[in-house]
Amino acid sequence: MIARVVATNLKVLNSTLQPLSILALHGPNLNLLGQREPGIYGALTLAEINRLLEEEGFKIQAKVFSVQSNHEGILVDTIHAALGQHHGILINAGAYTHTSVALRDAIAAVNLPTVEVHLSNIYRREDFRHHSYIAPVAIGQISGFGAQSYLLGLQALVNHLRVKS
């Protein structure tokens, strides 16, 4: 029994020392952050959010690779390319959250742990934003905390990956 506990603790310790690779995927219009409806999406630019993700990733031993596209097919291709390259996906699919079966299917196909994030609380907005095609294939969803949603999502994803391994 003691040997099993020690072996389990060593496995957890070793897994926490290995850097993880996380794909941060940003969907349409997020390239306009900082100027686009700052009352809803905040004043930070996407570059600033990516910098915060990199800094938080460094603290928790995860390398964050950020990609933004306004094109659904590029986002799908990027998800496909994540297989074998990244341990997990942090995604703000923007408006595609509510419309894209293709993104949902791509996430399901690669079967990488995925956390969905949103700057605004999508459930306090227009009715069409209340449905997410991503949520059923994600391990969790965080929304409504501005840029902090990304950091919370990254922390949750890394924690999930560390506990799982």
Q: What is the CATH number of the domain that holds 123?
A: 3.40.50.9100
d(CA 109, CA 102): 10
**What does the pLDDT look like over 49-105, one tens digit per residue?**
999 999 999 999 999 999 999 999 999 999 999 999 999 999 999 999 999 999 999
Residue 114 lies in a domain: no
Residue 57 lies in a domain: yes
| Phi and psi angles of residue 142, each rounded to the nearest 5 degrees, phi first | -130, 130
Of 158, 107, 152, nearest to 133 by C-alpha is: 107
Average pLDDT score over residue span 14-37: 86
105 labelled ligand-binding: yes
Considering its fold, how many domains does the chain have in total?
Answer: 1
d(CA 56, CA 85): 20
120 labelled ligand-binding: yes
Residue 34 lies in a domain: no
Q: Locate all alpha helices (DSSP H) within 36-146, ordered by sequence.
A: 38-41, 46-59, 72-82, 101-110
d(CA 37, CA 50): 19
Known catalytic residues? 41, 118
Residue 24 lies in a domain: yes
Residue 164 lies in a domain: yes
Of 88, 89, 103, nearest to 134 by C-alpha is: 103
Residue 104 lies in a domain: no
51 labelled ligand-binding: no
Give the domain range for residue 46.
Answer: 20-28+42-94+119-130+154-165
Residue 59 lies in a domain: yes
Residue 148 lies in a domain: no
9 labelled ligand-binding: no
pLDDT bucket at 39, cuts 50 / 70 / 90: confident
* CA contacts within 13 A on the Cβ side of 41: 18
